[in-house]
Structure 1
């Protein structure tokens, strides 16, 4: 073999080992959608951070970098593809917290400081770039919960407080109060995903007693009712779910673009970069182009003006700071 061939073989082995090549072992629809590198997150690489969006700016902060919990906080402007540091989070440094936004304010609640489970809640004012402590979360101290803002109200559900949880709490910013609502139907869980569409909250996946959860539930705040959607594994006699081989996972991320939701990264026995699209109108899933960077867990995702982004996360002792945008309308094209 010539020297150039040896170098090429070594390069291919290196790329495969570092997860930089696209997995082409599955179906052709993994060429449906394209991942595009954007400006690297400007803080230190980390996992288990929080993210929320206010007025077309994404905010990312807290988390764990492999050595310590963090308090720094950053905003991302998708129009300019740039990051800017914001006021430091004044609460206890933490990872695995829950974050949501309502209006011009963002909130961080719960989490883990390396020793203690937390239940304090902090409000970030994007206009003044200031933090204010608010009423403690109404449920038990916990981490790995999910959170979202809907119609000016905040919602936190599930997580781990020494036991797996399924309770749902609503936060009213005007009254600074927490109210318990009807608990999530289905299994208890931690490290689930949640997303919002048409003013409804969707909670699914996650881990319960060491087992990945294969369900998705819709909560309507207007009627205070939960509706279970189709299972996320192939358990029916119909053909729609025959391909549902690797949707289930925990510590994944989810984001919404238009009338579709997307789930990617996370863990199910091992790390996965498989990406799946959820169609709200048909309650069915289809496989899309796999996340093109290193497989990871504990990442964060956000949507800005119908554009979906994924950043941070870790794989073992490797922590990440890359930012990647998913465009479902493009065909896969390998990019550095």
Structure 2
């Protein structure tokens, strides 16, 4: 291994050289891409550029620039973490992007990738009632990316980021400060709605743990770096989602809306609650398992929950 590293350090010189070599290492070790990039070339480029403190949109003319010895060694360190430890790139760099916004991440939180971004981009139309939005809850917030993105989309709203994990909320607070939103966004610790007792919302958005036991056992190694608390939720992946459905109406204003992502566990939810009038959102940019339901419908069908 040391001889291979020595050859790389002595024979490769430019950013382009190292991006190509990184791409080969990805292919050689069959790494899995599921945390921000679907293309090996894109991730190889970002890894190398980040290792030498260059932004992802660096002018391509720079790719023929030569690296210093310390920069080469840093690239090798990043690649080793990615291909041997199977660590997702955002955990190596400490940063992930969601809806064009940068977020601080580490292994205390999931890496942002929710298709709920597509709904935020359209301000949850046509499901959210017209008019001003006063208060939003991001339940099971993790890094805070969904709630913070909502704060950008609804500039008049106050946003609560709730999570049971104190470690996750430390990261969320870093992101609140990073985006300078402390005047409108707060972090609240507790088990689901225990974190926000006595508060009601126009909009509740949640990307809770929803991976069922079978899927959890078969996930690629990269996912095992993410907190297990934020992934699994019982045999069918719906333990937490059922609790959210039972309790959400008490925390929604009369015309409020609940939005939840359950991923592949949507099949289990459809089978277990076929009469509940969930609206499954068609996601034009890909993804699945996001439903919406109004406060009115939740109250009308409380007997099903």
TM-score, scaled relative to structure 1:
0.28
Structure with the higher fraction of residues in helix conformation:
2
TM-score, scaled relative to structure 2:
0.30
Structure with the higher fraction of residues in strand conformation:
1
User: Which structure ranks higher in relative contact order (CA pairs < 8 Å, sequence separation ≥ 6)?
Assistant: 1
